[in-house]
Amino acid sequence: MTLADLRSHIESYLELRQSLGFKTRYERDVLRAFADYLEGQGHQGPLRARTAVEWAATGAPRNAGPPGQRVRLVCLRCFMRHLKAFFPETEVPGHGVLARVARPKPYTYSQEEIAQLQEATLLLWEPGSMRQNAMYTIIGLLACTGLRVSEALGLTVSDLGLDLDPPRILIRNTKFYKSRFVPIHPTAAEKLRVYLLERKRLCPDCSSNTAFLNDKGWPLRYHNVLENFRAITHQLGIQKAPGRKAPALHSLRHTFAVERLTSWHRADMDARTLLPHLSVYLGHVSPEETYWYLTATPELLTAASAKFERHVHTGGPHE
């Protein structure tokens, strides 16, 4: 197999993935970088598993770390399985060659901290300005729906079904290439109505249909929102807890999921049966991703243990 053959099969593989509905930007970057590496090494002949593992482990960007190295190898493994159908001498790296890295437990906000996050927008930016209104509303929306940050920023005004019964928002083409309706509480709908009135007041001739705007009337960008949020947590002095991720905007999603599971346990409801509903609401591709939250916080484990003890003492069934 020549490098020209390899590059040709990379492009064919990417086209196949795209035809099946997958987004391939990350795969394209990884596979093309791997081909460039092989060319720089003067590689000839069939691909060997050792070559793929060495590149994934040592050729990753410095900020990738072990998790990023493992993801790169998974990407390579999928392609090399495809390539093996054309070049049987291709060696596909086995599973577990790079160890799975333990996922850090998320930071979870208390209800008091969430209120402080919103109040801090009034201290950092001019009250009533577009940025202050947008950040205040985004924080509240993420806290009460568990949306991904990108999903909130992708909302358009027409996606906000605030007068429907029940009120709902439409999330389009999300992380896993599907859209979904997310019902929201009437109080959340009212907060969004207030924001839209302020948006119209501040930008009466705005040409953008994007819901959340910056002070210039342009759609808010992801990196700008993250910078704004870091300014808020710095202002409040919210610190990283030992053994957990640093407080971040995405942590509001974790907090929402954990709060929902905890409330089900405390209400003696069957969280195992309800978990798939939460998975759909959050836009997870499968319930397995949502199960991770079951061990996310001591509070949730305490609630689950208390329920188990009640069932043991009463002789009832337990989960």
The residues carrying an active-site annotation are 148, 175, 250, 253, 284, 293
How do strand 180-183 and strand 160-161 relate by DSSP bridges? Answer: unpaired
Rounded to the nearest angstrom, the gap between the alpha carbon of residue 38 and the centroid of all alpha carbons in its chain is 33
Rounded to the nearest angstrom, the gap between the alpha carbon of residue 90 and the centroid of all alpha carbons in its chain is 34
Using alpha carbons only, give the angle 108, 100, 319 rounded to the nearest 5 degrees. Answer: 55
Please state, in angstroms and rounded to a whole number, the distance separating the CA atoms of residues 7 and 2: 9
The three-class DSSP label of residue 172 is: coil
Judge whether 282 and 290 are in contact, CB under 8 Å: yes
Q: H-helix or E-strand containing 306?
A: helix 298-314
Among 113, 66, 65, 61, smallest CA distance to 232 is for: 113
**Which residues lie below 8 Å from residue 307, measured CB to CB, with a gap of 6+?**
265, 268, 318, 319
The three-class DSSP label of residue 211 is: coil
The secondary structure of 101-142, three-state, reads CCCCECCCCCHHHHHHHHHHHHHHCCCCCHHHHHHHHHHHHH
Q: H-helix or E-strand containing 182?
A: strand 180-183
Please state, in angstroms and rounded to a whole number, the distance separating the CA atoms of residues 18 and 277: 29
The three-class DSSP label of residue 10 is: helix
Burial-class residue 163 by CB neighbours within 10 Å (0-12, 13-18, 19+). Answer: exposed
